[in-house]
Chains A and B, each alone.
Chain A
Amino acid sequence: MLPRHAPSHLDALESEAVHIFREVAGEFERPVILFSGGKDSIVMLHLALKAFAPAPVPFSLLHVDTGHNFPEVLDYRDRVVAAHGLRLHVASVQDYIDRGVLRERPDGTRNPLQTVPLTEKIQAERFDAVFGGGRRDEEKARAKERVFSLRDEFSQWDPRRQRPELWNLYNGRHAPGEHVRVFPLSNWTELDVWQYIAREGIELPEIYFAHEREVFQRAGMWLTAGEWGGPKKTETVETRLVRYRTVGDMSCTGAVDSDAVTLDQVIAEIAASRLTERGATRADDKMSEAAMEDRKREGYF
């Protein structure tokens, strides 16, 4: 009898994610990784680098820039792209607003505006597989997502028409104009992502760790003061010790009070938290009971 080789759960998740990356490399012509500079996309890129070592990652990156991104995150994005010699595509919400194609919402939130630049970029570049860092533990509509999720030429997601997905036989067949969204982190939880970051020693944008920041309160969340449209006259800016659990558009991504400055402290804080990361930090998910489902149907990631 051989000794028992039980992989740790992080090893098992890593092995599964790498398998998914390699399936896409083997089956598709023009894959791209959605890269926001947030922790999930950073972990995705790290896994892709491992999956194809010693060769470079055979995919380019795509960032949907809302125009209201955290400067620290854009700086991180550019450093990573340069360090690994990657090609970065940018779909810019600001461009669409400047051209009059998209209109600023009254609440200044740009997250819902990302869908059109994203889907048009996918069509223009003829990407046939688009990796997203979405995890099924994030949100109840995401809990229904397949690992390989077929989208029509309008990038629409129809939960009733999803392909059955059996064993690990991912079916990436698609017609011209259609594409497949691929979620290698489907089976990861927020805690898994942080534990993996700690194990692998992956660098993150500094906004994930506690720092002093000028913020103001809106709808129960601490938002960063800035040119995007906050604070209003009735809202007061104060300096607080905060960090971010997610990275997104500044207008709808809230900071949480925290003194966690190391990965171990962050992990301890998340393990003890009674709020989900989206519940704690995402205003756009609170717009309605099915906000995420509605955006996904339209082609959101």
Chain B
Amino acid sequence: MTSTTVDTLRFATAGSVDDGKSTLVGRLLHDSKSVLTDQLEAVEHASRNRGQDTPDLALLTDGLRAEREQGITIDVAYRYFATARRRFILADTPGHVQYTRNMVTGASTAELAIILVDARNGVVEQTRRHAAIAALLRVPHVVLAVNKMDLVGYEEKEFERIVEDFAGHAAELDLPGFTPIPVSALAGDNVVDRSTRMDWYEGPALLRHLESVPVGGDRSGEPARFPVQYVIRHAEIRHYAGQLVSGTLRVGDRVTVHPSGGTSAITGIDVLGEDAREAYAPQSLTLRLADQRDVSRGDMITTGADVPALTRDVRAAVCHLADRPLRVGDRVLVRHTTRTVKAIVKDLAGAAELAANDLGRITLRTAEPLALDDYADSRRTGAFILVDPADGATLTAGMVDLGEPRSPA
């Protein structure tokens, strides 16, 4: 647990109301011995106050007053735990339809999503929605956790029926694949330890799967993308500060600055105060360039021939998040990497408007060009949000779709 070399899995959970998601998360934390004595005592105390004789593990995660009163999860909660094999950041996201945007929030940074279904109800509309979001946000790994197996007699055929049903939807959604696991969060079957009540299941318990799924693709071999966050001026020298999203930068590399298209060369790299010859994604660093050119926050520095598309016409898949609908003709702000530009909603794939939690397709016309990658190539330089210029509200999550495969520049 104290080792600094273990990797981290960021994952998200999604499930409909009453699917037992909070109980599953509580069980995962409890059975992996990630709950400390005082937290457990607090849950035992609160459970007793509610007249329950066994600790309600859902209370480990449902921390807000309204959540406890209503027995539902309202907002994303982030949990941290570790085993000997791996560290985990869990985005525990609510499943209720009015909180779909919170699943989008959790899934945007997740490398794995657990989609929970109640074995008695099988695949319901919310399950399909969760699968669609996982597919849209390109979460690399999906687990279908069929919960409450204890309530269907731990029957293999019940499990198989749901898996088949889900597989049909997954194929339609272009979901890359998924791992089905039969569990009972309440009884603890196949959560941390393999259950003895489902001999027919030959796969791993959930935690073992979470520990072994490959994570954290090394992005240093990809084309370099360096969005400029901030310019540090010191002793007449301009240092361009940012986090390297992908690729590798070396002193001497020729660079292109977008959107101006100007070129220069890297004369120095500092990785948080230390002089370096080269730097790798995802390091935060500062660059110095040969020319004292006009580079500012919002610009994108790249190297090599594989450059982003520079365009004012942005096509994307979107999930609308705000209660006010998004309509053709709306004036919005696009926030892409460190750049914010004005834009007009030109088209919504024929739809008159997008309501809260709608998934759709959009075309925007921006006031200035953006340096875009396809979301399929980069979850960072292919993602944007729309912001309401009037009150700053976050309106919509966008995933760039450049359409035609680009020819090398």
A residues lining the B interface (CB < 8 Å): 1-2, 4-12, 14-16, 18-19, 22-23, 25-26, 50-55, 136-137, 139-141, 143-144, 150, 159-160, 162-169, 171, 173-175, 186-187, 189, 191, 195, 199, 267-268, 271, 273-276, 279-280, 289-290, 293-294
B252 at the binding interface (Cβ < 8 Å): no
* B8 interfacial by beta-carbon distance below 8 Å: yes
B282 adjacent to A12 (CB under 8 Å):
yes
Q: Chain B 19-48, CB within 8 Å of chain A: the 1/0 string?
A: 000000000000000001111001000100
Partner-binding segment picked from B74-82, B141-149, B196-204, B366-374: B74-82
- A165 B335 Cβ-Cβ under 8 A: no
Are B63 and A143 neighbours in the complex by a CB distance under 8 Å? yes
Task: Give, as a whole number of angstroms, the nearest-CB distance from B303 to chain A.
Answer: 13
Chain A residues in 8 Å Cβ range of B282: 7, 12, 15-16
Contacts of A169 in B (CB 8 A): 335-337, 383-385
Inter-chain contact A140/B335, CB cutoff 8 Å: no
- Contact residues of B between 248 and 295, Cβ < 8 Å to A: 248, 270, 272-273, 280, 282-284
- For window 40-75 of chain B, which residues contact chain A by CB distance below 8 Å? 42, 46, 60-61, 63-66, 68, 74-75
Contact yes or no, B64 A271, CB < 8 A: no
Query: With A6-B218, A164-B321 in contact, is A274–B37 under 8 Å at CB?
Result: yes
B304 to chain A, nearest CB (A): 13
| Cα of A18 to Cα of B272 in the assembled complex, Å | 9
- Say yes or no for B243: interface residue by CB 8 A criterion: yes
Assess whether A26 is in contact with B338, with CB atoms less than 8 Å apart.
Answer: yes
> 8 interchain pairs (CB within 8 A)?
A16-B282, A18-B284, A19-B243, A22-B229, A25-B229, A26-B230, A143-B78, A175-B392
- For A147, the closest partner residue in chain B by CB is B78
B383 and A167 contact, CB distance less than 8 A: yes
B297 touches A26 (CB 8 A): yes
Which listed residue, B37, B78, B221, B241, touches A51 by the CB 8 Å rule? B241
Q: Are A267 and B284 neighbours in the complex by a CB distance under 8 Å? A: no
- CB of B343 to closest CB in A, whole Å: 15
- Given A163-B393, A293-B65, residue A171 in contact with residue B283 (CB < 8 A): no
B80 in contact with A144 (CB, 8 Å): no
Supplied contacts A18-B243, A26-B230, A276-B36, 8 more A-B pairs, CB within 8 Å: A14-B284, A15-B282, A53-B272, A175-B391, A268-B2, A271-B1, A276-B38, A276-B39
| Smallest CB-CB A-B distances: 10 pairs | A173-B392, A140-B63, A279-B38, A18-B284, A5-B280, A166-B108, A53-B273, A22-B229, A143-B77, A15-B284
A171 near B233 (CB under 8 angstroms)? no
Indicate if the CB atoms of A54 and B234 lie closer than 8 Å: yes
Task: Please determine whether B42 and A289 come into contact, CB atoms closer than 8 angstroms.
Answer: yes
B283's closest neighbor in chain A, by CB?
A15
B397 on the interface (CB 8 Å rule)?
yes
Nearest-CB residue, chain B, relative to A267 = B2
Q: Check B232–A164 contact: CB distance below 8 A.
A: no
Given A12-B8, A141-B63, A159-B64, do A186 and B78 touch, yes or no (CB 8 Å)?
yes
Query: What CA separation (Å) do A10 and B2 show in the bound complex?
Result: 11
Task: Given the known inter-chain contacts A9-B6, A26-B338, A163-B393, please indicate yes or no for A279 contacting B221, CB distance below 8 A.
Answer: no
A143 touches B242 (CB 8 A): no
The reply to whether the CB of B235 lies closer than 8 angstroms to some CB of chain A is: yes
Bound Cα distance from A55 to B152, whole angstroms: 64
Contact A280 to B38, CB < 8 A, known contacts A50-B273, A143-B78: yes
Shortest beta-carbon distance, A226 to chain B, in Å?
A: 25
**Residues of chain A contacted by B326 (CB below 8 angstroms):** none
A9: which B residues are within 8 A, CB to CB? Answer: 4, 6-8, 87
